[in-house]
Amino acid sequence: MLQKMQTTAALAGLRLSCKICPSPISSLPNPSPPFNPSLPLPLQLHKQFSLASQNVLEAASPLRPCATLSNAYNETTELADIDWDNLGFSIQPTDYMYFMKCQQGGTFSKGELKRYGNIELSPCAGVLNYGQGLFEGLKAYRKQDGNILLFRPEENAERMKAGAERMSMASPSTEQFLQAVKDTVLANKRWIPPAGKGSLYIRPLLIGSGAVLGVAPAPEYTFLVYVSPVGNYFKEGLAPIHLIVENDLHRATPGGTGGVKTIGNYAAVLKAQSAAKLKGYSDALYLDCVHKKYLEEVSSCNIFVVKGNTISTPAIKGTILPGITRKSIIDLARSQGFQVEERLVSVDELVDADEVFCTGTAVVVSPVGSVTHLGKRISYGNGVGAVTRQLHASLTRLQMGLIADEMNWTLELR
C-alpha cells in the first residue's frame, strides 16, 4: 500500500538541471515505461505557478539550484511500494541513474538522467581489463519535514578526484559531482525512506569505459550515479558485531592503491571476508603487510580502539582509506572532550581496550562485541559501549537533521 507524504513549500515546479532520456538497455524484471516528457517523473507534482523566484533554494543550498522555481507550489510525493520496516543492505532498483562521459585529456560533457538499467561496454574497456574504476558511497536522509539531507558530499567529490589522479583517470569536477548527486537524488525522491526508516544509498561510479588493448589509461571515461534505499549494513544493526583478525591475507601494500577507493581494493578482501563469515564472524580485520602486527581496516570500514578517554585509530599513510565517517567521528569526538590519536595501533592493544568500533558510510558507527586473534577471543562487554553509543547518536542525529548542524556538514535539498 502506497504511503503518501505531502509537503508544501515556497518553491515551484521541480525541473532537473539535466535532461532525462530513456536507457537503451534495461534488465529489470518490470522495466519502467519509456520516458514521456509530457508525463511527470515518479514524483506526483501539483504545481501552482506565480512570480518566478529562485531565492529560497539559493538560500538553503550552497549549490546552484537545479530546479526552475516560481513563488509557490504544492508537491505530493508518493513513496515507492516496498516494505520500509525491513530494509536490508542490498540493491533495490530505482527509477533513474545519472550518466556522463569524457575523453582522455578532455572534460566531462553535460550529464543526463536515464532510466535505471544495464550499460553497454566494450569487452576491451579499461575497467574490465585493467581495473580502472573508482566508486564513492554517501547517503541521503529524509527529514521529518520531508526535506532531504546529504552528508558532506563535497568530501566524496574531492576523494574521487584524488583517486582518479592516482589511477590516471579523468574525473568530474567537484561541482559536476555535486550536481550529479543532487539531480539523481531528486529524480529518485520516492525511494528515499521515510524519516527514521533508513536512507538512500548513493553510489557514484567512475570507470574507464574506452577500449584499450595494451596496458594504458583508457581513452574514454564514464561517470554515473545510481541509488538504492537501504537499512543496516550489518544484520546486527547497532548490536555488536564480531571480527576475526586475518593474519595471512592483506588488503593493501605501501605504495599501492589502498588509500584510494578503487574497485580492486574490495575484490582483494572477498576471500578473507567470505572465510570469516563461514566461521560465524561478521567480517575480517586486517593487519599491515610489513610488520603484520598493526591494525589497518575491516573489509569496508575503519577501526577505532577506546581506552579510557582516549580513542585511537590507525593513521592514514597510504594503505588505509581516508573515510569520511572516520574523519567526522574524529572531529565529533574531539569536540566532546575525547583525546583522539591517529597512529600505529598494535593488535596487542585490543586485549586491554574498553571498547572497539568501526566506522563507514554503509556501517555508520558499528560496535564490536569481540575480536578473535590467533584463536583467542577478546570480548567487550555485553552490549554497546557508552562511548560508541554516544558518538553513534551524535553522528546519526546530525545526519538525519534531528539536531542543529553546528559543523556545517549537511546539505539540504527541498
* Residue 235 is a catalytic residue: no
- 128 phi, psi to nearest 5 deg: -80, -35
**At 155, which helix (H) or strand (E)?**
helix 153-166
Asked if residue 248 has pLDDT above 80, the reply is yes
Sign of CA dihedral 346, 348, 354, 360: positive
pLDDT recorded at residue 33: 41
Give the pLDDT band (50/70/90) at residue 327: very high
pLDDT digits 0-9 by tens, 81-127 = 999 999 989 999 999 999 999 998 899 999 999 999 999 999 999 99
- Residue 18 cell numbers, joined: 539535466
Can you tell me which residue has the cell 550499460?
Answer: 119
Give the pLDDT band (50/70/90) at residue 20: low
Q: Using CA atoms, how far apart are residues 411 and 60, in angstroms rounded to an integer?
A: 8
Closest among 365, 358, 360 to 393, alpha carbons compared: 365
Mean pLDDT to the nearest integer, 233-257: 90
Determine the longest span between alpha carbons in the chain, in angstroms: 71
Asked if residue 10 has pLDDT above 70, the reply is no
pLDDT recorded at residue 75: 39
Asked if residue 303 has pLDDT above 70, the reply is yes
CA distances from 188 to 60, 113, 202, 363, 394 (A): 20, 11, 11, 22, 28
Asked if residue 250 has pLDDT above 80, the reply is yes
- Measured in residues, the chain has a length of 414
Q: Please list the alpha-helical segments (H only) found in 96-203.
A: 126-130, 153-166, 174-187
Side-chain-facing half-sphere of 356: CA atoms under 13 Å: 29
pLDDT above 90 as % of the chain = 76
Q: Strands 96-103, 301-307: parallel, antiparallel or unpaired by DSSP?
A: unpaired
Closest among 402, 401, 384, 408 to 335, alpha carbons compared: 408
pLDDT recorded at residue 239: 86
pLDDT recorded at residue 5: 43
Helix, strand or coil, per DSSP, at residue 293: coil
Mean pLDDT to the nearest integer, 3-24: 45
Asked if residue 72 has pLDDT above 80, the reply is no
Give the pLDDT band (50/70/90) at residue 21: low
In one letter, which amino acid is 372? T
Catalytic residue chosen out of the listed positions 114, 261, 271, 292: 261
- 186 phi, psi to nearest 5 deg: -65, -35
Can you tell me which residue has the cell 515551484?
Answer: 12
Q: What is the pTM of this model?
A: 0.83
pLDDT recorded at residue 168: 97
Asked if residue 354 has pLDDT above 80, the reply is yes
pLDDT recorded at residue 25: 40
pLDDT recorded at residue 346: 98
Kindly state the DSSP code that residue 19 receives in the 8-state scheme: -
pLDDT recorded at residue 16: 54
DSSP bridge pairs for 368: 241
Query: Cα 348 to the chain's mean position, in Å?
Result: 31
Burial of 327: CB neighbours in 10 Å, binned 0-12, 13-18, 19+: middle
Angle at 171 between CA 254 and CA 101, to 5 degrees: 135
In one letter, which amino acid is 151? F
Asked if residue 353 has pLDDT above 90, the reply is yes
Give the pLDDT band (50/70/90) at residue 51: very low
Asked if residue 13 has pLDDT above 80, the reply is no
Closest among 322, 329, 118, 130 to 224, alpha carbons compared: 118
**At 187, which helix (H) or strand (E)?**
helix 174-187
pLDDT recorded at residue 82: 94
Through-space distance between the first and last CA atoms of the chain, rounded to whole angstroms: 25
Mean pLDDT to the nearest integer, 147-175: 97
Asked if residue 394 has pLDDT above 90, the reply is yes
Asked if residue 406 has pLDDT above 80, the reply is yes
- In sequence order, the 6+-apart residues with CB closer than 8 A to the CB of 281 are 242, 243, 244, 372
Can you tell me which residue has the cell 538499467?
Answer: 117
Q: Using CA atoms, how far apart are residues 303 and 315, in angstroms rounded to an integer?
A: 11
